[in-house]
């Protein structure tokens, strides 16, 4: 049986996450020699190196990666235990670790806000990143729940649809196509196009449609942010495809318009997912139930009308 203390595992896990003894020491408020010596003792009791050092950067060995995954499970279980104890005492306390794709940031904080009013004692870590990076987080089991619109099929997941996520062609309000109906998708080939960065789920959905319809657009600009794309469209740099959710915040409704293009909107849906086999914490489970319950009523998703789910975005 390997002799390791919880403290040594914590020190190892923090070092592995940062790839640095110094940063681990900072996070844990201990000295850097203490971190090195704890990792050294752990290495000795395991009998295999856990890190390789190249320059100043630490890289995990195979044994180190295995131990990192084990540490995550151990600490998850302990966190869950603490949350269960709090629950048994009649309080919901603990941390909710949520990771969402960039486009979901337009509505997730709103529902988190109302969830927190019900459970004021919980802490939330909300990671916002693009589709590809979110999948990498899933592989590493870094979060409790994920919200995205195209769950991968090569990871075993439990997923539930929560809301529509229509992707629309967006142009400046004074664009010559703004008043036209039923614009053929091939017409987009004659327009300068602004695309999300590679790794974006929105881009993936758009590329799939263009490939299916054999449409090849002239990409003038690639941008890693929906907000930057909106500004670029408003600035006359071209048109783009964005989730309707990105168009809700005030300030853009007057400048942008969703075009009536054939095959659009692309009908995506938002899913809340977690790793199959993962034991959800009390808090994560409470949030999941809250999300599913309120997604049905829709009134919680500000900016959408309860009646038909259409946004306040003007469509011509
Ligand atoms: P994105 O993902 O923010 O990476 O474009 C959106 C999605 O999953 O649809």
Q: Is 202 exposed, middle or buried (0-12, 13-18, 19+ CB in 10 A)?
A: buried
Q: Which atom of ligand 1 is nearest to the CA of 134?
A: 4
Q: Which of 185, 186, 203 is nearest to 194 (CA)?
A: 203
CA distances 193 to 52, 132, 196, 242, Å, are 45, 22, 10, 12
Ligand 1 atom 7: residue of nearest CA: 201
d(CA 312, CA 106): 14
**Which residues touch 166 (CB under 8 Å, ≥6 apart)?**
243, 244, 265, 266, 267, 268
What global pTM score does this model have? 0.76
130 touches ligand 1 (CB under 6 Å)? yes
Contact 84, 55 (CB under 8 A): no
102 touches ligand 1 (CB under 6 Å)? yes
Q: Which atom of ligand 1 is nearest to the CA of 148?
A: 8
d(CA 128, CA 101): 6
Distance 20 CA to ligand 1 centre (A): 31
Q: Identify the sign of the CA torsion 100, 204, 224, 136.
A: positive
268 touches ligand 1 (CB under 6 Å)? yes
149 touches ligand 1 (CB under 6 Å)? yes
Give, for all 316 residues of the chain, the pLDDT tens digit: 778 899 999 999 999 999 999 999 999 999 999 999 999 999 999 999 999 988 878 999 999 999 999 999 899 889 888 888 888 877 777 889 999 999 898 889 888 988 998 888 889 999 999 999 999 999 988 999 999 999 999 999 999 999 889 999 999 999 999 999 999 999 999 899 999 999 999 999 999 999 999 999 999 999 999 999 999 999 999 999 999 988 876 545 578 999 999 999 999 999 999 999 888 988 999 999 999 888 766 665 554 433 333 333 333 3
């Amino acid at each position: 049986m390997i002799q390791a203390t919880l403290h040594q595992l914590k020190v190892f896990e923090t070092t592995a996450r940062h790839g640095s003894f110094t940063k681990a020491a900072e996070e844990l408020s201990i000295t850097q020699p203490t971190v090195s010596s704890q990792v050294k003792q752990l290495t000795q009791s395991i009998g295999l190196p856990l890190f390789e050092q190249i320059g100043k950067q630490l890289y995990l060995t195979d044994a180190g990666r295995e131990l990192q995954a084990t540490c995550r499970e151990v600490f998850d279980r302990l966190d869950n235990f603490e949350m269960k104890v709090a629950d048994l005492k009649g309080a919901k306390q603990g941390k909710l670790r949520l990771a969402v794709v960039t486009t979901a940031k337009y509505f997730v904080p709103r529902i988190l806000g109302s969830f927190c009013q019900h459970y004021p004692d919980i802490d939330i870590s909300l990671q916002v990143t693009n589709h590809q990076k979110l999948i990498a987080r899933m592989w590493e089991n870094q979060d409790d729940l994920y919200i995205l619109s195209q769950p991968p099929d090569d990871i075993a997941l439990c997923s539930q649809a929560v809301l529509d996520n229509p992707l629309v062609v967006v142009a400046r309000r004074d664009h010559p196509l703004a008043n036209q109906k039923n614009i053929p998708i091939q017409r987009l080939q004659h327009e300068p196009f602004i695309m999300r960065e590679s790794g974006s789920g929105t881009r993936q959905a758009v590329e799939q449609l263009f490939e299916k319809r054999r449409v090849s657009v002239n990409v003038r600009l690639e941008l890693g942010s929906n907000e930057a794309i909106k500004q670029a469209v408003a600035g006359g740099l071209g048109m783009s495809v964005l989730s309707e959710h990105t168009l809700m915040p005030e300030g853009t409704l007057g400048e942008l318009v969703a075009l009536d293009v054939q095959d659009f909107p692309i009908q995506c849906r938002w899913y809340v997912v977690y790793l199959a086999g993962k034991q959800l914490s009390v808090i994560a489970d409470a949030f999941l139930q809250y999300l599913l319950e309120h997604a049905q009523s829709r009134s919680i998703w500000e900016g959408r009308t309860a009646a038909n789910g259409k946004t306040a975005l003007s469509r011509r």
